[in-house]
Amino acid sequence: MSPLRRGGGWCYPSDIQQPCEPSSSHCTANCHIRANTSIGTSTGLDAVVSASTLEAGTGLLSGNTSRAGAFADFAVAYLHYCDGGSYSGTMTTPDVALNGTGPLYYAGKYNMDATLTELVKTKGVASYSRVVLSGCSAGGMACAIHCDYVRDYFAAVNSSIDMKCICDAGVFMDVPTVTGAGNVMEARFYDVADRMGTKASLSTACVAKEQDWRECMFSETALKHTTAPYFVINSQYNFGEWEMLAPPTTQSFPPDTTASPADWQSCYPSLGQLTPERWATGCNATQKSIILGRVAKFQKALSGALDPTSANGAWLNNCPSTHCQTNFDDAILVDGMNVREAVNAWYFDDKVVKSVDGPYPSNPTCPSVTNK
């Protein structure tokens, strides 16, 4: 059985006291705007959802005979995402929000608990032999920060359940942007942690050992303290939208735009828009050094997955235009394996899989990107 956690970014409670023009990208991170969308409420959800619309429905869990994955006969539980905090919110005191547009409730942790309880009580999951926790993007981060919690939950009802986590595109680095906007993700995740009351939902081992418990919102930190076996799927160059951010302009909460500043436009203008041509002629030596240095930091942050003595695994490509990959783009190869083969080898065959791509742009299997 595989519970899948949905992606969809996060909303930031500090935004709710700021004006938000619908045309601004800033609005998608404003909790009171998000509350009326499909990733802010369950109102309007379809009673039945086609498996083909689920993240990984055509990859990790594919039953298509021509592309059938090894997980094709697993049952699937799809966790709807609507708290804006990767299922970590425990704040049930209502947030009034801008001009009384609330009340808003950040109760993702309780939604997660209710789903797990429902799976045991009505779906018989206590009798299952295997459980896989997966998800991509914000769901991939949830997979990382709640991996041990979900493992412990199922162990309490059946100690023989084999529980592993496969986390896709959920590593958002705790580093300053390369463009002078500061440590934007730290400001954002700390805001989520403080205002959504996430401390009670985070790894107790992580909270106890980290100097600042809010660091446990970061996948890289949570995974350092994770004891359940986990597998990380990620592009090491998937950082354009989060680490190439421009400095904030009129908003006090950083930043209100995802456009790269002028000195990066010729090299890495936006998420996925690094191309071999740009690398060769548009990126100067300093920019190349910064990008390669960031990749080195990424690998250091995932040392627990890459440690050859650990039971964990990783498949890390260097394709800039890739984010969620549990739909399995079979064309991309790292160490001669696509992501489907890598996961299957780690999960079903108990093989050591620590696949790390060569430096960009050495992988000819990366998808081509229009050089805009």
Q: For Cα atoms 177, 315, 330, give the angle at the middle one, nearest 5 degrees.
A: 110
Name the residue type at position 181: A
Q: How far apart are CA 109 and CA 27, in angstroms?
A: 24
- Residue 370 in domain: no
- Residue 171 in domain: yes
Rounded to two decimals, the pTM is 0.91
Residue 28 dihedral angles phi and psi, to the nearest 5°: -65, -15
Q: How far apart are CA 97 and CA 32, in angstroms?
A: 6
- Residue 28 in domain: yes
Left, alpha or beta for 329 (phi > 0: left; psi -120 to 50: alpha)?
beta
- Residue 263 in domain: yes
- Residue 65 in domain: yes
Q: How far apart are CA 15 and CA 115, in angstroms?
A: 29
- Residue 291 in domain: yes
Reading the chain (372 residues) residue by residue, the pLDDT tens digits are: 566 667 788 988 887 766 666 555 556 678 888 888 888 888 878 777 666 555 545 566 665 555 556 787 788 888 888 899 999 999 988 887 765 567 889 999 999 999 999 999 999 999 999 999 999 899 999 999 999 999 999 999 999 999 999 999 999 989 887 777 778 889 889 999 999 999 999 999 999 999 999 999 999 999 999 999 999 999 988 665 456 665 555 556 665 555 667 778 888 777 667 889 999 999 999 888 888 888 898 999 999 999 999 999 999 999 987 888 876 667 899 999 998 889 989 999 999 999 999 988 999 999 875 443
- Residue 362 in domain: no
- Residue 229 in domain: yes
User: Looking at the 3D structure of the chain, how many domains does it have?
Assistant: 1
Q: Which residue reads 């490509």 in tokens?
A: 317
Containing structural domain, residue 120: 2-356
